[in-house]
Structure 1
Amino acid sequence: VQIIPLPVEYKTYNSSYELVQEMKIIHNLDAANLENIIAPFNDYLSVKYGFQQLVKETGDKATNGSLVLLLDKDNKRIPNEGYNLKVTAKSIKLEASSHSGLFYGMQSLIQMVEDPDENLKNPYIGAAEIRDYPRFKWRGLHLDVCRHFMPKEFVKRYIDYMALHKYNTFHFHLTEDQGWRIEIKKYPLLTEVGSVRKETLVGHGRRSDKYDATPHGGFYTQEDIKEIVDYAASKFITVVPEIEMPGHALAALASYPYLGCEGAGYEVATKWGVFDDIMCAGKESTFSFLEDVLLEVMSLFPSEYIHIGGDEAPKKKWKECDLCQERIVSEGLEDEHELQSYFIKRIEKFLSANGRKLIGWDEILEGGLAPNAAVMSWRGETGGIEAAMAGHYVVMTPGTHCYLDHYQSNPETEPLAIGGLTTLEKIYSYEPVPDTLNPVQAEYIMGAQGNVWTEYMPNSKHVEYMVYPRAAALSEVVWSPKAERDYPGFLNRLQKLRVLYDYMGLNYSRVEFDGER
């Protein structure tokens, strides 16, 4: 079968099911879920082949020529998010125990559609039986909209591309040194001041001192955020917001200088990298601010996890700050690393009290981890291994294999990127469960995620170029059985998926296709 990610089990047969305008959709679903599940398929038939909307009828028996969608929540044989699909010359039957399973079955069906040929005058789907379900429950892609702002319409398209590849978690990186991108009603300066930087570095951060003298800004209103979250939910994707703390916070400090140890002299960053100015851990007002912000964030994002960053927070200012030093003494802490741990544990308690869970970058392990916190392991896998061994949930996203801001081929011929070299094949070879974990510890690996930092991606077309087709490779890493993965087979299936990329207008990199640019 020409499907990415590769299904768990499949058989193909010699007959075909012809897609015709008269075919009916027979189903046992409520209207809203039905619409979400069939919309991408309907749209594809309509745009590509000129079909009108298909007729829908409730029922559970296949009639000749119908497409049957059946939800059976009590079917223990179909895992959550999984589906069984049977295509014969007469009908198509798709069964699942969850709405998301039906949705993923439809994504597979879209990829199976073949154009009319000399034998068949209609588009068709080859007869097949498929049993499919995901290997991991966290199948994530991330997007940094702070280094470069991305319009709401593009964020929705990004979600469409994710859905096609059966991703289910969108990590939305909303706050940074270089921009604050989410409206917070209680703190209007975060967007009035913090969403705009006066100019941006030109060229590579390590080799340039030129600036473009052009302000860069943008933010999402709370209405925009609701629209994005609802849109993602219609594609069975959870949006996990990230509000960075205590580091990567210059946009917040520029808006409300009292949040920093020195209390003045901050501006929204205009270059990349790590800055010494971070939120003060000694002031109670820092925690009041963060709790207020998180309350508004939680009201907009229903996700189980809230990402609080926690990475790259230099301790220089804390060492020089009387209030931070007083806090270290009064809380009986060893040093500034334990002060960061105190900071994160305090936020974790607050999130827990509000029925949410904290997730952060692996630096949150330093100085001890809050009891229910999950870890995103980015500096290699060491942090993830340590967290899993201690019984914490982990998302693997090591820079070596999961950073989609790295070059994908020869830097001489590629657009400027931060560095690294992470080819399609390298991503495809990634295994999220390290050998060092025993089977019990391995259960704590929730999955993996591709990260997209946009310092060197000034617009949406550039993002698409960096993310696809590499995210197609990662989608197979997080969905398909480890033993079935096969790179030449994947490349072959990718040729078919390109047809859909072209249909969607996706600006994917062609470097893996016969050396095309």
Structure 2
Amino acid sequence: MRFAALLLCLTLCGLVQADPVSLIPLPAQLQRTEGSFKVDSSTSIIVPAHDEAARQSAQYLADLVARTRGLHLEVAEGKATSQAIVFQRNAKAAGAHAEGYTLDVSAQGIRIEAHDDAGLFYGAVTLYQLLTPNTQSGAVDVPALHISDSPRFAWRGVMLDSARHFQSVVDVEKLLDQMAQHKLNVLHWHLTDDQGWRIEIKRYPELTRIGAWRTPPDAGHDGEPERYGGFYSQEQIREVVAYAAARHITIVPEIDMPGHAQAAVASYPEIGVTGKRPPVSVDWGVNPYLYNVDDASFKFIDNVLDEVLALFPSHYIHVGGDEAIKDQWKASPVVQAKIRALHLKDEDALQGWFIGKIGSYLAAHGRRLIGWDEILDGGVPADATVMSWRGTDGAIKAAKLGHDVVMSPAPDLYLDSLQSNLSDETAGRDPVRSLENVYRFKPVPTVLNKAQAAHVLGAQANAWTEHMPSMQHVEHAAFPRLDALSEVVWSPASTHDWKDFLGRLPAQFQRYAAQKVDYADSAFAPVIKVDTNATLKEGKAEVALSNQAGYGDIRYTTDGSAPDDHASLYNKPFTVTWPATIKAAAYASDGSVLAATRTRVIDRAHLLTRAGRELSNCAGSDFRLHVQPMPDATSMTPVYAINVFDTCQQYLAAPLDGISSIHVEVARLERNYALAHDIKLVVSRPYSTPYGEFVVHQDRCDGPVLAAAPLPNPAASARRFALDAPLSTQHGEHTLCLVFTAPTDGPLYAIDRFSLIPAGGAKSSP
């Protein structure tokens, strides 16, 4: 009895929470109190008379709850009453912090108070989460509590790359909705690059007539469109800007310069260095086209910016400044003469002068320049803000120089980084940046002193879309990692708790499902691990199950049937006699699904087979992409692992006793990668047949050749094909080095599956 009384006391004091409140991001202060308030269809939302911002926030809440929970709440103007949800102005709410609010729930009702419009809106967002703790519909009991909340950082951002792959207005608005629900307040909209110009500029119609469209590699074949592209009309941009503003999100446009300018130069060759018209690029990477530095080119840029400023009211305008290789400037006598006339040291200094002119133009129009950290290399205007992407060094340097900075480092906050090394992960880049990696990101480098740290405005995650051609890809890459980012940039650092955060995710997953957001379950997906070689020898397999987050209940079956929340609960490795089919899924404590079922078949054929994504890079290059069959494929599968610098992979500890041949399933891919000065790193291997070979070496990549098969004529064969070759008799376990010797000016090849075939072709289990 004494224990029960103590527990009750602790619960009422807010020290023990039997039913955790599933809020993301976690509020700055949250105190549970006794009781609850029932919200049902008779509950009204009351806003002050003639307060349009309060009404908009209240209506946003009502619409969202109606759409996701089927609970319809009426919004009305009037005086605060009990048994209602009340929005109210209070100059002292949340310490009068910008975007701050207080939220109180008692048995008498719910009250949201804030001194600014954004605070009222974020109070509504928090209440939405309180009203959707589960998948049920209709009325909900909201626990009594007090919240006083305001953000840790002013810049809480997401970058969406619409230049490489184009998203519809509906797609962009759906992302804005989710940003708002995560209290993220800046959409950095990447609108121009080598591969496309996406913003209508009425003075220069060729930018969208020509620059918004590219002819894909192998256009019209194998699912690749004849023409790829699109652009946003000025009317559409105004619509998106207004949609964002209603959710207290600022859109910061990016117009890339002086590099990443190929689509612009393709539209108006006279603004380029050579005066020649290139095509709009189909190659990912670093292309060579730069803006010229003459008066006519700056007049063009100024005229473009005039229309951009009229469309986007944001204080900041992003001008890129990254990856501007200076080869064209170096080769141009006119540009070299300009450098001398300006008494500049070199081309980097010329870029600094270039960015300085743009910064002055923006400042004269009441705006402020922001650019990637390369703008520091040649000198930068004193009031420029630096977005650090090449790790955190740029931010540290900029902050020490007195510049405001936004943390956006690769790969930590790059959403095109893979979330896991699961074989069913979607396209993206290595290295893996998991949900936990993002949650543990520290926006303020420890080397900065207090004054320097004050220059850190916040952080943002970047959704580069070279390998994310559809909005389904973007959502999969963004969620739930944006949940982690939202807590990093909103909640006080002292409140960050990884395990507690995981406990709040199941309710968030249910909100995603209700809104048809295609989130990733990678952090919770069961990994089914067996020692393949030991299993082959022993005729039985010891199976270990785990997931990346180390969270949730993993339940499994061994007979191929689908697991549910009543299937066997995994708690330690178990043994099965093969053949067997293991299926496993992960569940939260409330029985909701954390991760969909994963399957592993254990038989001889599967034990002797490796998916291409399971193979490792050969020594010498750790570069690795996971790509789809064609650059503009919109399906989520298949995905192939490639290294554009070296087409060599390893099958470690291959069991070769009794193996007489190999079978490999291959995909031919486009080599659409602009490598700039890194082209020298591409490994070229000798080949003896017209189109190269697939070669298997023993132990080392210059070791004995165990098998080889010629590659077919690319012009006369399917993109997916199989090769078979005899394997020289070997014994024991050996590393196999798997190499494509195709000419480096032709297509790339990727291994889909590689199989060792026993003598007689037997693939069945013993």
Per-residue deviation, 1:284: 1.1
Partner of 1:23: 43
Residues 96 and 102 of structure 1 are in contact (CA less than 8 Å); yes or no, is this contact kept in structure 2?
yes
CA 1:213 to 1:34, structure 2 compared with 1: closer, same or farther past 3 Å?
A: closer
CA 1:270 to 1:514, structure 2 compared with 1: closer, same or farther past 3 Å?
A: closer
Per-residue deviation, 1:367: 1.5
Q: Which of 53, 59, 65 in structure 1 is aligned with 2:83?
A: 65
Is 1:429 aligned with 2:440? yes
Is 1:92 aligned with 2:85? no
Partner of 1:195: 212
Partner of 1:126: 143
SS of residue paired to 2:318: strand
CA distance in 2, matches of 1:41, 1:230: 18
TM-score normalised by length of structure 1: 0.94
Per-residue deviation, 1:76: 7.8
Per-residue deviation, 1:28: 2.3
CA distance in 1, matches of 2:199, 2:147: 42
CA 1:71 to 1:494, structure 2 compared with 1: closer, same or farther past 3 Å?
A: same
Residues 201 and 271 of structure 1 are in contact (CA less than 8 Å); yes or no, is this contact kept in structure 2?
no
Per-residue deviation, 1:416: 2.1
* Cα displacement string for residues 86-127 of structure 1 (whole angstroms, at most 9, x for unaligned residues): 100111011111110111111111111256999x98312111
Per-residue deviation, 1:190: 0.1
Larger radius of gyration: 2
CA 1:360 to 1:47, structure 2 compared with 1: closer, same or farther past 3 Å?
A: same
Q: Which of 335, 347, 350 in structure 2 is aligned with 1:324?
A: 335
CA 1:19 to 1:383, structure 2 compared with 1: closer, same or farther past 3 Å?
A: same
- Opposite residue 207 of structure 2, the aligned amino acid is L
Per-residue deviation, 1:22: 2.2
Mapping of residues 269-308 of structure 1, within 5 Å = 269-281=281-293, 283-308=294-319
- Opposite residue 233 of structure 2, the aligned amino acid is T
CA distance in 2, matches of 1:330, 1:465: 51
Partner of 2:683: none
Per-residue deviation, 1:70: 1.1
Residues 3 and 493 of structure 1 are in contact (CA less than 8 Å); yes or no, is this contact kept in structure 2?
yes
Per-residue deviation, 1:154: 0.5
Per-residue deviation, 1:186: 0.3
Higher RCO by CA contacts (8 Å cutoff, separation 6 or greater): 1
Residues 62 and 73 of structure 2 are in contact (CA less than 8 Å); yes or no, is this contact kept in structure 1?
yes
Is 1:235 aligned with 2:235? no
68-77 vs 483-492, greater mean Cα deviation: 68-77
Per-residue deviation, 1:146: 0.9
CA 1:161 to 1:28, structure 2 compared with 1: closer, same or farther past 3 Å?
A: same
Structure 1, gaps ≥5 residues long: 203-209
CA distance in 2, matches of 1:322, 1:92: 71
Mapping of residues 76-91 of structure 1, within 5 Å = 77-91=95-109
Partner of 1:370: 381
* Cα displacement string for residues 192-239 of structure 1 (whole angstroms, at most 9, x for unaligned residues): 00000011589xxxxxxx994631110000000000000000000000
Per-residue deviation, 1:407: 0.3
- Opposite residue 406 of structure 1, the aligned amino acid is S
Per-residue deviation, 1:134: 0.4
CA 1:253 to 1:126, structure 2 compared with 1: closer, same or farther past 3 Å?
A: same
SS of residue paired to 1:77: helix
CA 1:326 to 1:30, structure 2 compared with 1: closer, same or farther past 3 Å?
A: farther
SS of residue paired to 1:332: coil
CA distance in 2, matches of 1:86, 1:92: 6
Partner of 2:191: 174
Percent identity (aligned): 42
* Cα displacement string for residues 467-503 of structure 1 (whole angstroms, at most 9, x for unaligned residues): 1000110111100111110111111111111121111
Is 1:149 aligned with 2:169? no
CA distance in 2, matches of 1:130, 1:214: 55
- Opposite residue 266 of structure 2, the aligned amino acid is A
TM-score normalised by length of structure 2: 0.64
CA distance in 1, matches of 2:381, 2:223: 41
CA 1:290 to 1:90, structure 2 compared with 1: closer, same or farther past 3 Å?
A: same
How well do the aligned residues superpose, as a CA RMSD in angstroms? 2.0
CA 1:143 to 1:200, structure 2 compared with 1: closer, same or farther past 3 Å?
A: farther
* Cα displacement string for residues 133-152 of structure 1 (whole angstroms, at most 9, x for unaligned residues): 10000000010011110001
Mapping of residues 346-495 of structure 1, within 5 Å = 346-410=357-421, 412-495=423-506
SS of residue paired to 2:159: strand
CA distance in 1, matches of 2:50, 2:387: 36
Residues 190 and 253 of structure 2 are in contact (CA less than 8 Å); yes or no, is this contact kept in structure 1?
yes
CA distance in 2, matches of 1:116, 1:199: 45
CA distance in 2, matches of 1:201, 1:167: 40
CA 1:29 to 1:138, structure 2 compared with 1: closer, same or farther past 3 Å?
A: farther
Partner of 1:2: 22
CA distance in 1, matches of 2:243, 2:123: 19
Q: Which of 180, 187, 190 in structure 2 is aligned with 1:163?
A: 180
Per-residue deviation, 1:261: 0.8
Which structure's residues are more often strand, by fraction? Answer: 2
- Opposite residue 425 of structure 2, the aligned amino acid is E
* Cα displacement string for residues 374-411 of structure 1 (whole angstroms, at most 9, x for unaligned residues): 00000011110111111110000010311001000006
Partner of 1:38: 58
Q: Which of 127, 132, 140 in structure 2 is aligned with 1:109?
A: 127
Per-residue deviation, 1:310: 0.3
Which structure's residues are more often helix, by fraction? Answer: 1
